[in-house]
């Protein structure tokens, strides 16, 4: 899944790769699972030892709903803009050039950029704070725990119809 930087001879290079879900499996370490093919489309610009990767990642993730806990499919398309420097330079003080706004800086080693790692990190950053299977997901019943987006239950709603409350008063005690 590596991008071999030695293969990039010109100053501009176009890269398009597709990775199957198995290659990006996280073994439960992330809050998401990749379920379909992931494509990464990059324009690579080389400036001496610096590589700028601008492009897009498209993936289909599976997340757990924050309300009903069901797993649901979440297609993602995200734009990336990364600046890669050789790892040896990371200890230098002269980091002036890096501080361009909106550009993430990373380091590469042995003339390789691990695209799998890049994809996983970028996907992690794009996850919603509280994923919902749908905006109006009713979540779980607070009484019996039934998933109210797929089933109904007999628990009474804490909200009581005032007309029923009125009828109750007519009943003999
Ligand atoms: Zn839900
Ligand atoms: Zn219930």
pLDDT digits (tens, 9 = 90+) for 29-45: 677 899 999 999 999 99
Q: Are 38 and 57 in contact (CB under 8 A)?
A: yes
pTM of the model: 0.76
Beta carbons within 8 Å of 84's beta carbon, 6+ residues apart: 50, 51, 52, 53, 105, 106, 107, 108, 113
Q: How far away, in angstroms, is 46 Cα from ligand 1 center?
A: 45
Q: How far away, in angstroms, is 140 Cα from ligand 2 center?
A: 8
Q: Are 103 and 79 in contact (CB under 8 A)?
A: no
- Closest-lying ligand to the alpha carbon of 154? 2
Task: Flag whether pLDDT at 48 surpasses 70.
Answer: yes
Q: How far away, in angstroms, is 74 Cα from ligand 1 center?
A: 13
User: In a 3-state reduction of DSSP, which class is residue 60?
Assistant: strand
Q: How far away, in angstroms, is 157 Cα from ligand 2 center?
A: 9
Q: How far away, in angstroms, is 143 Cα from ligand 2 center?
A: 5
- Per-residue pLDDT tens digits for 71-83: 999 999 999 999 9
Q: How far away, in angstroms, is 159 Cα from ligand 2 center?
A: 14
Q: How far away, in angstroms, is 139 Cα from ligand 2 center?
A: 11
Provide the pLDDT for residue 22: 87
- Calpha distance 151→119 (Å, rounded): 37
């Amino acid at each position: 899944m590596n991008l071999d930087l030695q293969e990039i001879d010109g100053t501009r290079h176009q890269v398009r790769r597709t990775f199957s879900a198995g290659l990006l499996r996280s073994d439960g370490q992330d809050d998401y699972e990749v379920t379909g093919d992931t494509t990464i489309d990059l324009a690579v610009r080389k400036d001496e030892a610096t590589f700028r990767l601008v492009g897009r990642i498209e993936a289909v993730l599976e997340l757990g709903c924050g309300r009903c806990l069901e797993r649901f499919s979440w297609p993602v398309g995200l734009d990336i803009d990364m600046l890669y420097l050789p790892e040896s330079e990371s200890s230098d003080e002269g980091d002036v050039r890096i501080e361009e706004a909106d550009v993430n800086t990373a380091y590469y080693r042995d003339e390789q950029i691990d695209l799998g790692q890049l994809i996983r990190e970028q996907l992690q950053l794009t996850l919603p704070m509280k994923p919902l299977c749908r905006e109006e997901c009713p979540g779980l019943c607070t009484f019996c725990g039934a998933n109210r987006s797929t089933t109904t239950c007999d628990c009474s709603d804490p909200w009581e119809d005032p007309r029923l409350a009125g009828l109750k008063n007519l009943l003999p005690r």
